[in-house]
A and B are shown apart, each in its own frame.
Chain A
Amino acid sequence: MSGHSTYQPTTAFGKWFDDRLPLYRLVHDSFVSYPVPRNLNTFYTFGGILMLMLVSQIVTGIVIAMHYTPEATMGFDSVHAMTRDVAYGDTLQDWHAVGASMFFVAVYIHIFRGLYYGSYKAPREILWILGVLIYLLMMATAFMGYVLPWGQMSYWGAQVITSFFSAIPLVGETVREYLLGGYAVGNATLNRFFSLHYLLPFMIAGIVVLHVWSLHVTGQTNPTGVEVKSKQDVIPFTPYATVKDAFALVCFIIVFAYFVFYMPDYLGHADNYIPADPLKTPPHIVPEWYFLPFYAILRAVDFNIGIPFTDIVLIDSKLGGVLAMFSAIAVLFVVPWLDTSEVRSANYRPMYKIFFWLFAANAVFLGYLGSRPAEGIWIPLMKLTTFWYFFHFLIIMPLLGWFEKPLPRPASITDAVLAKHPDGDGSGGGTSQLEGAAAAPQSKG
Chain B
Amino acid sequence: MKKVFTRLAAVASTLVLAAGISLGAASAADEEGATPHYPLKKPKEQSWSFAGPLGQWDIGQLQRGLKVYSEVCAACHSLRLVSYRNLAGLGYTDAQIKNFAAEYEVTDGPNDDGEMFERPALPTDRFKSPYSNDKEAAAANNGALPPDMSLLAKARAPERGFPTFIFDIFTMYAENGPDYIHSLLTGYEDAPEGKEPGDGLFYNPYFVSGSALAMASPLSDELVEYTDGTPQTVDQYSRDVSAFLMWAAEPGLADRKQRGFIVIIFLLVLAGLLYFTKKKIWSDVAH
Q: How far is the CB of B123 from chain A (nearest CB, A)?
A: 14
Interface status of A165 (Cβ within 8 A of chain B)? no
Main secondary structure of the interface of A (DSSP, over half): helix
Q: Are A90 and B250 in contact (CB under 8 A)?
A: yes
Q: B residues within 8 A CB of A84?
A: 81, 86, 251-252
Q: Are B267 and A254 in contact (CB under 8 A)?
A: yes
Q: Are B5 and A404 in contact (CB under 8 A)?
A: yes
Interface status of A384 (Cβ within 8 A of chain B)? yes
Q: Are A261 and B274 in contact (CB under 8 A)?
A: no
Q: Are A358 and B155 in contact (CB under 8 A)?
A: no
Interface status of B9 (Cβ within 8 A of chain A)? yes
Interface status of A91 (Cβ within 8 A of chain B)? yes
**Chain B 47-98 interface residues, beta-carbon cutoff 8 Å to A:** 53, 81, 86
* B285 partner, pick from A235, A254, A260, A420, beta carbons under 8 A: A235
Q: Given A250-B274, A377-B23, A384-B15, does the pair A38, B6 have CB atoms closer than 8 Å?
A: no
Q: Are B174 and A265 in contact (CB under 8 A)?
A: yes
Q: Are B22 and A388 in contact (CB under 8 A)?
A: no
**Chain B 1-35 interface residues, beta-carbon cutoff 8 Å to A:** 1-2, 4-6, 9, 12-13, 15-16, 19-20, 22-23, 26-27, 30, 33, 35
Interface residues on A, range: 35 or more
Q: B residues within 8 A CB of A417?
A: 286-287
Q: Are A243 and B274 in contact (CB under 8 A)?
A: yes
* Nearest A residue to B172, CB-CB: A262
Which of A7-15, A133-141, A313-321, A360-368 interfaces with chain B?
A: A360-368
Q: Are B281 and A351 in contact (CB under 8 A)?
A: no
Interface status of A291 (Cβ within 8 A of chain B)? no
Which of A112-120, A192-200, A269-277 interfaces with chain B?
A: A269-277
Which of B217-225, B236-244, B254-262 interfaces with chain A?
A: B254-262
Q: A residues within 8 A CB of B174?
A: 262-263, 265-266
Q: Are A265 and B154 in contact (CB under 8 A)?
A: yes
Q: B residues within 8 A CB of A253?
A: 267
Q: Are B286 and A257 in contact (CB under 8 A)?
A: no
* Nearest B residue to A258, CB-CB: B264
Tell me the bound Cα distance from A251 to B19 in angstroms. 36
Q: Are B5 and A250 in contact (CB under 8 A)?
A: no
Tell me the bound Cα distance from A21 to B260 in angstroms. 43
Q: Are B287 and A261 in contact (CB under 8 A)?
A: no
Q: Are B16 and A273 in contact (CB under 8 A)?
A: no
Tell me the bound Cα distance from A264 to B151 in angstroms. 15
Interface status of B139 (Cβ within 8 A of chain A)? no
Q: B residues within 8 A CB of A179?
A: none
**Chain A 36-50 interface residues, beta-carbon cutoff 8 Å to B:** 38-40
Using an 8 Å CB-CB cutoff, how does the interface string of A157-196 with B read, 1 for contact, 0 for none?
Answer: 0000000000000000000000000000000000000000
Interface status of A77 (Cβ within 8 A of chain B)? yes
Interface status of A418 (Cβ within 8 A of chain B)? yes
Q: Are B13 and A358 in contact (CB under 8 A)?
A: yes
| A-B CB contact pairs (8 Å), 18 listed | A40-B287, A83-B250, A84-B81, A243-B274, A247-B271, A251-B271, A254-B267, A254-B268, A261-B256, A261-B259, A261-B260, A261-B264, A263-B174, A270-B176, A274-B151, A283-B209, A377-B30, A404-B5
Q: What 17 additional pairs, Cβ within 8 angstroms, besides A263-B174, A403-B1, A405-B2?
A: A84-B81, A91-B259, A240-B281, A240-B282, A243-B281, A253-B267, A260-B260, A262-B172, A263-B169, A265-B157, A274-B147, A283-B38, A284-B159, A351-B9, A376-B33, A403-B5, A424-B286
